[in-house]
Amino acid sequence: MNIFRLAGDLSHLLAIIILLLKIWKTRSCAGISGKSQVLFAIVYLTRYLDLFTTYISLYNSIMKIVFIAASGATLYLMYVKFKATYDHNHDSFRIEFLLIPCVILALIINHDFTVMEILWTFSIYLESVAILPQLFLVSKTGEAESITSHYLFALGSYRALYLLNWIYRYMAESHYDLIAIFAGVVQTILYCDFFYLYITKVLKGKKLQLPA
């Protein structure tokens, strides 16, 4: 565990907590893409199946369980408890356009042709693009609440910090994972435009509003 990895995990955890608190406190999931949240739930469920097969550490197991539980809670709040506030009309991204290519890519490019390994690979590819419905929703409405922006910033920072972690691990352990690196780079690039707006607008106290 190095500092980049720990900071990445904490940033990921912070993002999930911010999202849950936002929905809970405002009693509303307006501005949040349910489709991105469904994709994240699929990501956690397919990646963390190894909870049942491999024990790594207490930290590892607890974080996995927290991510799965928080993801389930978010879906419950969005699709059951505060369903009336869910922005159906703007959340119109077709997720099959992400799911199908990720399944195909995971079947072709993977470390090992086994069920667990293909599901892990699929989850890595899917995670890299899972935020697209959310970014699509923001671009459709043309704005995002500050709290939603903080959520997106924390979530985007997490994979960027993992990239630093992988550079560190390559230097310290001469070990690297091309699938994770490739997907992590794609994932981070997708946030770049948002990072720019976050730093130039949200941090200066302005609302994140896209130019018309």
Residue 97, classified by CB atoms within 10 Å of its CB into exposed (0-12), middle (13-18) or buried (19+), is exposed
Binders of other proteins among residues 9 to 68 (CB under 8 A) are: 9, 12, 50, 54, 56-57, 60, 63-64, 67
x/- letters, 101..140, toward other proteins (CB under 8 A) = --------xxxx-------x--------------------
Which member of 52, 58, 96, 175 binds other proteins (CB under 8 A)?
175
- How far is the C-alpha of 2 from the C-alpha of 163, rounded, in Å? 12
186 binds other proteins (CB under 8 A): no
Residue choice 81, 140, 169, 201 for contact with other proteins (CB under 8 A)? 169
| 5 near other proteins, judged by CB under 8 A | yes
Encoded tokens for 207: 């609302």
Under 8 Å between Cβ of 184 and 176: no
The window from 14-22, 74-82, 170-178, 199-207 that contacts other proteins (CB under 8 A) reads 170-178
* Nearest-approach distance from CB 181 to other proteins, in angstroms: 10
Instruction: Judge whether 20 and 13 are in contact, CB under 8 Å.
Output: no
Q: Where are the extended beta strands (E) located within the chain?
A: 143-144, 208-209
* Exposed/middle/buried for residue 125 (C-beta within 10 Å: 0-12, 13-18, 19+): buried
Pairing of strands 208-209, 143-144: antiparallel
Interacting residue with other proteins among 58, 115, 178, 212 (CB under 8 A): 178
The alpha-carbon radius of gyration of the chain (Å, integer) is: 17
The CB-of-36 to other proteins minimum distance in angstroms stands at 18
Query: Where on the chain is the footprint of other proteins (CB under 8 A)?
Result: 5, 9, 12, 50, 54, 56-57, 60, 63-64, 67, 109-112, 120, 162, 169, 175-180
